[in-house]
Amino acid sequence: MNAYDEYMKQVVKPMRSELTDAGFKELTTPDEVHSHMKETGVSLIVVNSVCGCAAGLARPAVTAAVAELDKKPEHLVTVFAGQDQEATATMRDYFSDVPPSSPSIAIWKDGELAYFIPREQIESNSMDTIKDHLAGVLADII
């Protein structure tokens, strides 16, 4: 591993742990993504990133929405755009009808994309608006 890769690994560590500490499982390889996507039930998928709207909006909104739900998705998973590039590309292949964006939030139910929140809808809203919207959508889908 070169110095740049090692530096970036340390820089993104807290960005990863913000989701993993909230119960999200990181999928870092294409095989992990394929294996997960065979699961049944509802998956909340976060395409994480280093940008400010991920830090100030997406991650806090997702973790707050999940925390307030009475009934939670069966699976909480995340891929990290720009860091785990092959895993992220593989995940995006599962919802290829929507343009790639990061951060983004997907709800996958029984083998189909049930809902998608792209970056544009994240960066143009407040954290509370995103949280309330996501919690409402999840409550309807679960």
Could you list the active site residues? 51, 53
CA dihedral (73, 106, 139, 15) positive or negative: positive
Q: Which two three-digit tokens encode residue 1?
A: 């591993």
Q: How far apart are CA 22 and CA 33, in angstroms?
A: 19
Q: Which of 116, 84, 124, 113 is nearest to 100 (CA)?
A: 116
Q: Which of 34, 42, 40 is nearest to 114 (CA)?
A: 42
